[in-house]
Amino acid sequence: MNFKDLSLTEIIEKINSGETDRKSVWDYFMGRIEKYDSKIKSYNFVNKDWLSQNNWKLAWVPIAVKDIFCEKDIPTTSSSKMLENFKPPYNATVIEKLNLEWMSSIGKVNMDEFAMGSTSATSALNTTLNPWGTNRIPGGSSGGSAAAVAAGLAPAALGTDTGWSIRQPASVCGVVWFKPSYGRNSRYWVNAMASSLDTPWTLTKTVKDAALLYEIMNWEDKKENTSLAGKDIIDPKIWETKDLSWVKVWVPKQYFEEGLDSGVREVIEKAIEDMKQAWALIVEIDLPMTKYAIATYYILMPAEVSTNLSRLDWIRYWLNSDKPYSSTDELFINNRWEGFWDEVKRRIILGSYVLSAGYYDAYYTKAAKVRTLIIEDFKKAFEKCDVIVWPVSPSVAWELWEKSDDPLKMYLSDAYTIPASLAWLPWISVPAWFAKSEDWKNEELPVWLHMISKQFSEQKLLEIANVYENLTKHWKPFPKGFED
């Protein structure tokens, strides 16, 4: 049985009906990892142990885990040299919740170091490639998660999102991404990047798969002070909805102006027309403050990075620099200089600068105020619409080293994903179809559509996305070269 062609939900149904068994599913995906992962290098660590357990919601179906979620006695490196030998003595809360429903972690997938980057090429351990074009980026920072699901090396994967870390990889690799409101999923023992933005979530083949994992993962965590009270239970009736006649869709004009590739624009406009054909009402409003989102993000995020990574000195993780030193400070400097790669150093330095005496009010305080204005922008918008749609990325996946020498160009590629992250909103990205790259290779690559709703309206968002997915069936194609 070709399990790569099935969704997570479909595989679980076949296990529970007796049509197949858990060991066969595990062996199938383990075999695909052994056969194909050398082509895309999505895994940092493969867990070859399989334990037989009783059936439950996840039926022991293997799920790939981004190398930032702590798992007891399993390497959790954040794709860094600093944590290369780190095996946590504990599980992240979301891992505990999934384990209670019999998740089977098949391995740790690659990422940009400490979740900082847009390509997965800033990993200190590996360079992951896009299964739709192995000369191209899989996105970042959750590129390993997206590539593994897209190539059929796992039916689903866990990731984290700070500004774009799941949405952009999901789009360029062609898998469904879902991120709930900030605080729905606990961040406890997920290695921190920027605490006011980090959100654990999933990459799957279908919207229903995303909902299945969301219902398991979201829960109040008393150990984590940004965790929201209560639990969101999905109403199964949302899967019966057939059209969008009850939905007002907003298309912000800011995201269809300069910088958007013509092929991507054409595909997204067709996706909006598909929603209109499903009887959605399309409206145009304005988001005036979102033009400041990138500047705001690249002040707030590095500030939190510099604080969160200040505790990592390499001394507590069993490795030290061989360079001579004459003081403890010099030892720390040597360790951190060798233990972190360039992108992490860049953000630590920038964050330390904006938090320094004399600059805190000039930069950090002002950025926090602008963030509040961006939040207010979205609140006003959702008084007039149910969902906002725009492209995930202004282009399809670019070639691997195309933007590596220009960090600013790399940062600007995330302009479409950052605003709603600053506003703590729930997002989902769904397949819109394929567009040709605007380089000389002219390759057809995935394009994904963003859908955003107001805070704590995850069920409505899933319902809308499911209607669109069922009408278009765009998730069915599979990358060439990864067939059984």
Q: Residue 54: what pLDDT?
A: 45
In this structure, are residues 444 and 432 in contact, taking their beta carbons and an 8 Å threshold? Answer: no
Per the annotation, the verdict on 384 as an active-site residue is no
What per-residue confidence (pLDDT) applies to 406? Answer: 60
Q: Please give the pLDDT value at position 484.
A: 77
Predicted local confidence at residue 417, as pLDDT: 84
Average pLDDT for the chain: 90
pLDDT at 41 over 80: yes
Question: Is 352 annotated in the active site?
Answer: no
Q: Is the pLDDT of residue 182 over 60?
A: yes
| Active-site entry in 7, 42, 78, 141 | 141
Distance of CA 114 to the CA centre of its chain: 13
Q: Give residue 426's identity as a one-letter amino acid code.
A: P
Q: How confident is the model at residue 257, as a pLDDT?
A: 73
pLDDT exceeds 60 at position 354: yes
Per-residue pLDDT tens over the stretch 210-240: 999 999 999 999 999 999 999 999 999 999 9
Note whether 9 and 129 are within 8 A (CB).
Answer: no
- The listed range with the strongest mean pLDDT (52-66, 277-291, 372-386, 431-445) is 372-386
Higher-confidence position of 252 and 466? 466
- Of 80, 118, 165, 437, the active-site residue reads 165
Q: Who's near 430: CB < 8 A, 6+ residues apart?
A: 176, 207, 448, 449, 451, 465, 468, 469, 474, 475
Confidence (pLDDT) at 55: 46
pLDDT of 53 strictly over 50: no
> Average pLDDT of 381-401?
90
pLDDT at 411 over 60: no
Are residues 151 and 203 in contact, defined by beta-carbon separation less than 8 angstroms?
no
Based on the residue annotation, tell me whether 165 is a catalytic residue of this protein.
yes
* 468 pLDDT more than 50: yes
Higher pLDDT, 64 or 315: 64
- Supply the pTM of this predicted model: 0.94
**Active-site choice (41, 66, 179, 208):** 66
